Each structure stands twice: as structure tokens, then as C-alpha cells.
Amino acid sequence: MEEFESALSKYDYSCEMGDVVKGTVFVADATGAFIDIGAKAPAFLPLSEASLHKVKSVDEMGLYPGVRDEFAIINEDDKNGRMIVSLRKLQYDLAWERVRQMQTEDVTVKGTIVSANRGGIVVMTESLRAFLPFSQTTPGKNTEEWVGKELPLKFIEVDEEQTRLVVSNRKAQAESQVALGIGAVVLGTVQSVKPYGAFIDLGGVNGLLHISQVSHERITTLENVFQPGDKLKVMILSQDRERDRISLSTKKLEPTPGDMLRNPALVFEKAEEMAMSFRQRVAQAEAAARAEEAQFEDGSFGLGSNFLSEIGGSNAPEQTSLLFPGAQTANEDFLSRTF
């Protein structure tokens, strides 16, 4: 130590709190580690500043004599005349930078529930404590049973200056449902009812159930069919990610026309079965479209009325060339009206 201090006395070194410096570990013990940062006195890294997570020794962080790393200067120990440095501060700043980027990219992350209070739930995610309001999840009445469990989350507010990190489980769940794609059956809650349709909350993302997609039977007003708060199963009919729009249907889930009005419980019971049938018909239509493309390239095309009759029944459109190369909009319109 005397030789080290003698060598340091030859250098004129100045630094301030908040600076990030490079240093080399030369002594480590149960209380922390001494770091050579080129100053006249060695800097000290307390064990509590070695990591964002609790560690029993600096060895757990790979800090052995000879290891070189970057450290943030967080204080000056007036009593011993040495700087106090931290790895935790650098990790903390990096964690906030990471969650800001994740919010921008709308990334779904995992979080572990650590506690709950009257306002919501505290979770650990990306090494930071975040707040999950009860309005942004559905954990059940006994939140104590959820402590220690993982949830998918999305960041909805990131404010490092106010140390405010708010997350949503509903948005993450909604994305996972919507990600299932066209023909998938998802759970939803009626949010509002309009003359033209009902807006369905899919757990943080809204979809429109147009009045024409509720039932095969004609409906004049939806107020007699749905009320805000109603739970129901719907099928994803189409998605427009650029315009953030999702079209839904219960009409495609009816075992027989009009069941959604007379016996919605039966519709929800048979929902997955009916959706599978829908997806099979879509697959057939896509296969026929590919065959049509091949015929078009060969100089002869025509989907054929027999195929349309089979998949569409009496509702099949008279056109025989809706599915042509590059006509994605026409294709989606065809699927919506035919199936």
C-alpha cells in the first residue's frame, strides 16, 4: 500500500462527482473493493454500490484484483480522503436508457411481482422497480398469491427525472391475443356501443365489431344486443397495423344464422370450432389464389364458379377473379364477405 501511495503521489489528478472513470481493482474484501483510478488515494467501491442487485461479495460481480472497469464517482469520503465509486450508478443509468428504448419500440418484457398495495402492484423489471396499476391488469382479488409470479408487461410511462416507471399487463396481453392473427378467437369486453358497431376492449387494445359482423340476421340497433361491460368471444377478421385498426366478428362464429341474437352462449361455446372452420376455408381460398396466379402467369386464368360455390354457398360473389396477383385489399374484402 505504501508503494502504491508513493507511486500515486507523482501524479496530479482531479475529478468531480458524477464523472465516469476507468479503474483497476487491486484489493477486495468483505466490505467492497479498492480501485486504482489514477488519483493520489485509492477510490473505494462499497459492496452496496457493486450492483443493482444484492450481492454478498464483489467476487459475484467478477471484481478480482487486476480487473479493469468503468466506475462512477458518487461521493468523497472526507474522513479518509478518498473517492467513493459505484458500478450500481452506471447500471441504473443504463437500465433507464434501456427501458426508454423499449417503450419507444413498444417491446413486451417480463416483470416479477414483489408486492401489492391499495393502488396497484410493484414489479421488478429490467432491474428497476415499476408500478402496475390495478386498472392495467386483472390479477384477481387476492394479489398476495401473485407475489413472485411473472407477468408480460409493456411500458406506458418512463420518467427517470421523477423516478416514475409505469407498466401495463393489459397492453401486453392484448398484443399477444392480436398477434394470433386473422381467424383467431380472443376474449373481449364491450367498451362502448355506437349505431354502427361496438368497440371491444381486447385488454388494452380496442377492436371494432361492426353491426354487419354481429350476426347473419339483420340488426337495426345494437343497444338491444350489447351493453358496456359485456364479456364475449370475438374473432379477428382483419388488422391494419399502420392505422392501428382491428376488425372483429361474431357473425363468423355462429353455428347457424342468428345464434348470436338467440343463443350467444352457444356461439361462445362453439367459437374455437367455428373459427377453425373459417381458417380452413381461408387456407383453401389462399391455395386457390396461388393456383390462379400460376394460371395467370401461363396466360390463362379464372378461379371457377364451382370453388366459390363450395366455400361461399349462396353468398358467393358472382365475380370469378377477385383473387388476382397483388390485389391484397380485394382479397381481404373477398374473405370478409364470402366467409
Q: Is the pLDDT of residue 335 over 90?
A: no
d(CA 232, CA 102): 32
Q: Which of 77-86, 147-156, 183-192, 299-308 has the lowest mean pLDDT?
A: 299-308
Give Dmax (Cα) for the chain: 97
d(CA 148, CA 124): 10
d(CA 123, CA 110): 10
| pLDDT tens, position by position, 120-138 | 899 999 999 999 998 888 6
What value does the mean pLDDT take over residues 151-176? Answer: 88
Q: Is the pLDDT of residue 310 over 70?
A: no
Local structure of residue 118 (DSSP, 8 states)? S
**Nearest Cα to Cα of residue 246 among 198, 206, 197, 194:** 206
Cβ contact 24:66 at 8 Å: yes
